[in-house]
Structure 1
Amino acid sequence: MRHMRRDLLLFCSAIGINYAMGNLSAFAAPAAGEEHKPVSSRHKSGSATEGSVLGANPQAEEISVKAAGRHADGTSNTTPGGGLMPKQTAPRSQSGVTRDFIAKQAPTGNISSMIANLPGVVYANQSPLATAGDNITMRGMNQSQIGYLFEGAPLADPINYEPYTAMLVDTENLGSVTVSQGSPDLNAPTFNAVGGQISATAMNPSHKYGGFINLMGGNKSANKEFLRLDTGDIGKTGIRGFMSFSHQSNNNWRGPGGLKRYHVDAKFLKEWGDGNSVTAVFGYNRQEQTPFRSPTAAQWKQWGEGLSYSDHYTPGDANYYKLQLSNLNSLDVVVPTHFTLAHGLKLRVTPYFVHQYGPAVGGENIPASGGTFGTQVYGDLNQPYVTNGKITTVAVDPWNQKVGAVNTSLDWTSGHNTLSGGYWYSYAMHEEHSTFATVDFSGKAANSYGAYGIRVPGGALLSGYNLNFMQQTNALYIADTLKLLNDRLTLSAGFRTVMVSRQGTNDVPGADPYKTVRNYFAPLPQVAISYSLTSKDQIYINGTTSFRAPASVQAYSQIFDPNSVGATSQPGNLKGEYGIGEEIGYRHNGTLIHFQVSAFNMNLTNHQVSSTSYIPGTNTLVSMPINVGGETIRGIQGEFGLKPWHHVSPYVSAQYLHATTDNNLPVSATNAAGQSVIDYLPTAGKTMVATPHVTASVGLAYDDNKRFFGNFSLRYISSQFSSFMNDQRMPGYVLSDITLGYRLPHVPHLNGPKIQLNLVNVGNNLYRSAPASFVTSTQSRTGIYGNTTKAGSPIYLVGGNFAALVSLSTGF
């Protein structure tokens, strides 16, 4: 449980009064990443019960609320490493961040950007404000292979697995984030988490009426206005909650255009009795942004960060920035409930609903006549504003997705043994019907998006794809945990089965297949052993399995374009990805020093690398999985942090990673007779793409708990290959950020006003932050069977520039 601020006298009084009444449910909740010392058998929402199964609902740091109290922004200056190393006890590699770190970062950040300093995490941004989408890898596996949970629910796209964390929660409300590198919870409602799991929670509402306001401004016209109102305890109902609203906007750091974002968060909580609680979490996001162009290596060498969309329109210019927009809109409702049914018997039920929708739009010139609609050639489109036989259009992708689901689990503890079981059901529907809207000579769409788009002779809407997709997921798990030797030895074993049913249609003429049906079944056993050498030292070993169905709707359907004869992309290899991993680790949670190190090994079959590329001749990006067969991943990671010592908290993390491709990859080739054939290139044993060998982070936090505070962090990412033949790589880079802050003296009617300066990418390092697409080879080669292969050109994300952001905030 978390609270936002506490006066020591009131806190002590509350303890005495509630103890006398025998009612502990009215206690204020500590901040994210912290809990009171146990005073009852009550557990916080999302925390593990005693003897919980392997990896299930990892516990946060447990500390006492100290006399120093808490600040209005939720910080307490108690977490080791300046908020980067809360106490962990799970029998696996696991790290996290708390409010001590989150509150001192730029208020425009998201869940992914908050964990960029943790071991094994590679966060690649396109904007220093962290608003241009997620791109993150852990142990060489990207965000589509990582399970994202918010308040126990998977709010990521359930089909392409993109987390879109900028839509989920304002960082002013973000309580804590826990990262499990390499293995998911056994009872987590995900089926894509071969690369690990990221779990986030919002701060719990305060028991006291009040609020929090934050106003931010910076270069590139960056601004954010945030307001949260806390109800406090509502009469004697036991209910408390908060609601918040924020507005954010900025100009793009590269090229014209910018961002507009409106966001609403709400959380209401009722607790009663022994471990009973009902929480209702609500989120709404409306966001529109001009995307950034992704260059090839040659374009980066020629243009650097200057490659961008046109800032003025001339007829026929499909690269005009106002024709490129990315909309991320969402509505989320999560209702975690916890019940104590009897002594030792606990039930958790989490229903949730997620609605995410676009549109995404991009400029494209299409033939005024003689183009293609699916496999059919259309006649004259009878559109105005034709230039050189082409119509400049806005290609509209109004994707629309709805998910309804419920996750349940039951824990029965008897003596030293805990038996757990659960069931997860999810139903998702996805619609995606691309259309085209004509652009007039001023650069504006002359007709509306959607139903009033361009129609071919005969009346049908011109489209490159008309997708309708349905997915049902059923998962069952059972696990047992036994504690021996005075609870020093913990043995856990569990088994989970995941069943995924998918079917989709493509209503574009000539689509083959018109309908695709796939069913997946995966058995997923896990086992872990943990032993406490002392009260502060723990060793563990585990073996885990994981599964992921192919990502993206496009993996099941053809994509067409009016400029191309035949499909521009074909359905991919539809086998599911399966991982088997082992870890051994040691951690020390001392009075002053926290340290942990682990070694890991993982073997993947049907490893699917997610690649994003433009439809040829367009500004439309599509995501396609590439099945590269087997992969072997080995490495070692560690982190070190100190609790505040003379107001200073250092932190260091590092990882060495060795990931290789196990198979030779198939590739399109041309034989001596000029015919198209399939050949293979010798990629077996090559380093896997997007897997930097070395990553490291250094942090230093200062907080005197009175007036002055500050943070410094430095991250190093070594070079990464973007081709499976290892003939093109992206250079490594170094980034550093600085935070400086001052808490104002007492101001009447205000609680803890402060001013904070965030400097992002100090030194304005210009760099490519990550490969956005991958190719087998960037050179034309002779395949294993003597055929000539084609060369490819991967594209890259460009990192965000320098940003200076000033925030004024206060509680009230």
Structure 2
Amino acid sequence: MNLHIIRAAGAGGACLLLMAPHVVLAQTAGTIAAEDKADNEVIVTAAKQNSTGIEIPNAPKARAVVTRDYIEHTVPGQSIFNAINMVPGVNYVASDPYGGNGGTIRIRGFDQSRIAFTFDGLPLNDAGNYAIYSSQQIDPELVESVNVSFGSTDVDTPTASASGGTVNYRTIMPTERPSATTVYSHGRGNMNRIFGMINTGDLNDSGTRAWVSASNQRYALFPYSFARKSQYNARVYQPLGAGKDFISLAGFFYQHRNGGYGNPSVAQINQALGNPLPLASATTANPVRIDLTQPQYDRILKAGAFLNSPNCALASATPGAGTVQDDRTLCTNARTININPVDTGNLRFNSLFTLNDRLTFTIDGGYSYTLANGGGSTVFAESDANASKSGVSRNQYGRVGAGQASGRDLNGDGDLLDYVRVFYPSNTQTHRLIGIAGLRYDIDAGNLVRLTYTWDRARTRQTGEAGYLNPDGRPKSYFGISSDSDSAVLDAAGGVLNKRNRLTYSILHQLSGEYRGRPIDDSLSLTVGLRAAFYRRNMSNACYTIPNSGSEAYCTGQTAQQVAADSRTAGFGPPYSGRIREYRAFLPNVGLVWQMDPAASLYASWNRGFSAPTTDIYSYDDKVISLKDKEAVPERTDAFDLGLRYTTGIVQAQLGGWFIRYDNRIVTTTAPLEGGGTISASRNVGRVDSKGVDATLSVNPTPWLSLYGFGSYLKSTVKENVRNGATGAILIATEGKQLVDTPNWQYGTRAQITLPSLVMGISAKHVGDRFITDENDAISAGYTLVDLDAQIGLAAVGLPKTYFQLNVTNLFDRPYYSNVWSAPRVGNGGWLNFGNGRTVIGSVHFEF
């Protein structure tokens, strides 16, 4: 963090000490350069002081920036999203203390699918359902800063899913001097992690420099879970001339294998405790509250009926001619099957070119790749005549025989009597290209305009090939398999048994324009922008669409005549190609900062956002299987912020209020079909209003002590009920209710001391009660967690850049539930994730 002086209008020689991080506010090279230019009167005048690393920039929008000053004290290897958990309005909860089993994040009540995440300007959200996978992020040692925009985007944000704001992080720059860094960490669950990085320093007179890194982490917190992840990163940076021009190329590759553990439903929690919770009588007016003592919490964990089993022995693995091998009740929750394998990576390009003294051109771009699934299994009857038996895949019908036979011998014992469990994951493979070109014109020293064009094309293939399991339940192949593989489970026609086969092209064309400047005098900074997004999905489905089954299609080797002749499948929607959906949005934003005096400023902004429907429109085909309701249209948000900031060399404070109007909210719920029946599909269910107050205070009274505190209050109100589109009957009574998994109150604090050989910090955060259900008849109790971190320098033993780091999370071992998976009402479910008990992690950071 640097202290800067900005001249205030009419102040003569008056100065303002402002904590404003340099080039860390935005994601693309164009926005970074524009923000840097807008602050062209900023002069660095003071040395770096101790800081907690959580900054509130003097920007026209509500923002927060987390820098390396804080990131370097967090748990090594944990998701970088964990670093923003102390920012007002943000709640990130990890499924384990090391991040390998993922986690969830909400910002001002918006879930992660409604928040745009970017990585050096590259979009991270899934192209189909906009999900973000927190475990699949870059090592925190490589992150320079994380920027959070509350309810708003930058004008060039490359996204079709940012109704709730943005989170973007940027990687560190290669250093001018050569260096090497190694970090080794150890913690409970036999967690071992090694990270290494080499900085080349300047390789030639032109300043070419680079770094490369690698890390590996493994642990098993419970006998029934494991996590293994490795990643490899590199960046090359080339300055161009003596100015700010540059080109940069970076790469990231990540592999992840884990065997997760189950999550208890509210009903399972109640059963394990002897049914003390009044679930049957729970109502909105009298909700049931899940608030457990430590003995109760331990009792549920030990009961473990919902946990994945460490053991699996398949009957089909020992075939016997003329006898029935039956896997239907075996290995239903085996950890070896419920896995989450991921291979993902990207290439990122950033650049800036000064064309003349007024004109600047920037270009960002990249390519990303993901292959992943969530595991899972099903049982096929070898004979299609047994397809309707209990425990068999409910959508088998005639697919094993494929219209050519009555079935197929799947385990090779010469009969068709068996019920064989197979690996049946939902694979997703995405290739994505993106380019962002920007042109900035500097009108004068205090005013500029810029234009940006974005092209984003994602090719997503979704399949669900069946693969053989080893006798202990381990898949013979983690991912999609071809018909000539010995891992493939084939039908009688020689095709791979498959539950879906979809191809989607998701294409975004986006134009944006922006003005930044001081149109009246130097005390007023104004930003005005317009983003025009044109989003298109081109969808093809090689399988039959099944009414009442949004997650599985009917993929078969049968002819169309055979499918139509079978009364069980005659009403299925046939395969199709070239199904087009187009969405358009024109999204203005306005923001201003009024520097009222050298220490105080007022900010205000209005930003419009949108989020297009996801690919669950594959649930119907528009011809044979059509919705009675109209198809979902994009969500729209209007976000308003107003607040005050006070900044001196010692104190930084902000108090702000906000309001978000949220129209055409999309939910996935039961929708009626033409001709009768229902299906799970996206629908618009109306309006949600959210409002709140955020406050932060940072104090640096001495060079060795820094204090930080924040508080957030949020109130959300759903304005309409979820109704049956055909009859108008209420399906879910959401009117007047609050959003799930969204606490009204969050507050926390951090204190840090910095001495010559010791840096120690302690953080505490309270998360208030959260509703588990849409009808607000069940509550997960609030909790307070305290974390401790310390770095002990080893300069005294001749290692000036080496230190030992200690992290203790959940210092007081507080029992709590972290992630929440909602249901319409408690009678329908509601699931909770065990919080992380006290965890001690020791690390040695070695550098030379």
TM range (shorter): 0.7 to 0.9
Aligned to 1:313: 312
Q: Distance in 2 between matches of 1:572 and 1:108?
A: 45
Q: Does 1:96 align with 2:65?
A: yes
Q: Distance in 2 between matches of 1:287 and 1:33?
A: 37
Aligned to 2:700: 643
TM-score (norm 1): 0.83
Query: Quick one: structure 1 residues 481 and 34, their matched pair in 2 at CA, closer, same or farther if it must change by over 3 Å?
Result: closer
Aligned to 1:304: 300
The code of the aligned residue for 2:612 comes to: A
Contact persistence 1:375–1:510 (CA under 8 A) = no
Q: Distance in 1 between matches of 2:731 and 2:126?
A: 33
Q: Does 1:395 align with 2:424?
A: yes
Q: Distance in 2 between matches of 1:321 and 1:356?
A: 23
Aligned to 1:793: 829
Q: What is the DSSP-based 3-state SS (H/G/I as helix, E as strand, rest coil) of the residue aligned with 2:113?
A: helix
Aligned to 2:744: 693
Q: Distance in 2 between matches of 1:165 and 1:726?
A: 27
Query: Quick one: structure 1 residues 806 and 65, their matched pair in 2 at CA, closer, same or farther if it must change by over 3 Å?
Result: farther
Contact persistence 1:51–1:482 (CA under 8 A) = no
Q: 2:825 aligns with which of 773, 777, 783?
A: 777
Contact persistence 1:724–1:777 (CA under 8 A) = yes
Q: Distance in 2 between matches of 1:668 and 1:47?
A: 46
Q: Distance in 2 between matches of 1:752 and 1:593?
A: 30
The equivalences for 1:376-525 within 5 A come to 376=398, 378=400, 379-384=406-411, 390-415=419-444, 416-445=446-475, 450-451=481-482, 452=485, 453-511=488-546, 512=573, 514-515=575-576, 516-525=579-588
Q: Does 1:324 align with 2:323?
A: no
Contact persistence 1:421–1:479 (CA under 8 A) = yes
Unaligned runs of 5+ in 1: 3-31, 38-42, 67-75, 560-565, 613-621, 672-676, 780-791
Aligned to 1:805: 841
Q: What is the DSSP-based 3-state SS (H/G/I as helix, E as strand, rest coil) of the residue aligned with 1:124?
A: strand
Aligned to 1:125: 94
Q: 1:742 aligns with which of 792, 807, 812?
A: 792
Q: 2:685 aligns with which of 628, 646, 649?
A: 628
Aligned to 1:221: 190
Q: What is the DSSP-based 3-state SS (H/G/I as helix, E as strand, rest coil) of the residue aligned with 1:336?
A: strand
Q: 1:351 aligns with which of 343, 353, 365?
A: 365
Shift of 1:684: 1.4
Superimposed CA distance per residue, residues 105-126 of structure 1 (whole angstroms, 9 cap, x where no aligned partner): 1111122111011100011111
Contact persistence 2:229–2:257 (CA under 8 A) = yes
TM-score (norm 2): 0.79
Q: Distance in 2 between matches of 1:535 and 1:598?
A: 19
Shift of 1:698: 1.4
Aligned to 2:560: none
Q: 1:534 aligns with which of 585, 590, 597?
A: 597
Query: Quick one: structure 1 residues 444 and 262, their matched pair in 2 at CA, closer, same or farther if it must change by over 3 Å?
Result: closer
The code of the aligned residue for 2:411 comes to: P
Contact persistence 1:77–1:703 (CA under 8 A) = no
Q: Distance in 2 between matches of 1:52 and 1:284?
A: 34
The code of the aligned residue for 1:304 comes to: I
Q: What is the DSSP-based 3-state SS (H/G/I as helix, E as strand, rest coil) of the residue aligned with 1:335?
A: strand
Q: Distance in 2 between matches of 1:113 and 1:388?
A: 51
The equivalences for 1:599-638 within 5 A come to 599-609=657-667, 627-638=684-695
The code of the aligned residue for 2:636 comes to: Y
Q: What is the DSSP-based 3-state SS (H/G/I as helix, E as strand, rest coil) of the residue aligned with 2:712?
A: strand
Q: Distance in 1 between matches of 2:629 and 2:218?
A: 38
Contact persistence 2:185–2:194 (CA under 8 A) = yes
Identity score, percent? 20
The code of the aligned residue for 2:534 comes to: M
The code of the aligned residue for 1:97 comes to: V
Q: Distance in 1 between matches of 2:500 and 2:788?
A: 46
The equivalences for 1:58-69 within 5 A come to 66=47
Q: Which has the larger radius of gyration?
A: 2
Q: Does 1:544 align with 2:607?
A: yes
Q: What is the DSSP-based 3-state SS (H/G/I as helix, E as strand, rest coil) of the residue aligned with 2:354?
A: strand
Aligned to 2:754: 703
Query: Quick one: structure 1 residues 570 and 65, their matched pair in 2 at CA, closer, same or farther if it must change by over 3 Å?
Result: farther
Shift of 1:690: 2.2
The code of the aligned residue for 2:722 comes to: L
Q: Distance in 2 between matches of 1:407 and 1:393?
A: 44
Aligned to 1:26: none
Superimposed CA distance per residue, residues 615-657 of structure 1 (whole angstroms, 9 cap, x where no aligned partner): xxxxxxx997564321111111111111362522111111111
Contact persistence 1:556–1:574 (CA under 8 A) = no
Q: What is the DSSP-based 3-state SS (H/G/I as helix, E as strand, rest coil) of the residue aligned with 2:843?
A: strand
Task: Compare 446-455 and 197-206 and name the one that shifted more.
Answer: 446-455
Q: Distance in 2 between matches of 1:36 and 1:383?
A: 60
Q: 1:83 aligns with which of 53, 71, 75?
A: 53
Contact persistence 1:320–1:363 (CA under 8 A) = no
Q: Distance in 1 between matches of 2:249 and 2:630?
A: 39
Q: Distance in 2 between matches of 1:246 and 1:571?
A: 50
Q: Distance in 2 between matches of 1:376 and 1:298?
A: 36
Q: Distance in 2 between matches of 1:83 and 1:598?
A: 20
The code of the aligned residue for 1:83 comes to: G
Query: Quick one: structure 1 residues 548 and 518, their matched pair in 2 at CA, closer, same or farther if it must change by over 3 Å?
Result: same
Aligned to 1:361: 375
Task: Compare 509-518 and 153-162 and name the one that shifted more.
Answer: 509-518
Query: Quick one: structure 1 residues 694 and 648, their matched pair in 2 at CA, closer, same or farther if it must change by over 3 Å?
Result: same
Q: Does 1:588 align with 2:646?
A: yes
Q: What is the DSSP-based 3-state SS (H/G/I as helix, E as strand, rest coil) of the residue aligned with 2:808?
A: strand
Unaligned runs of 5+ in 2: 3-18, 273-298, 315-329, 388-393, 401-405, 547-572, 671-678
Q: What is the DSSP-based 3-state SS (H/G/I as helix, E as strand, rest coil) of the residue aligned with 1:172?
A: helix
The equivalences for 1:188-207 within 5 A come to 188-207=157-176
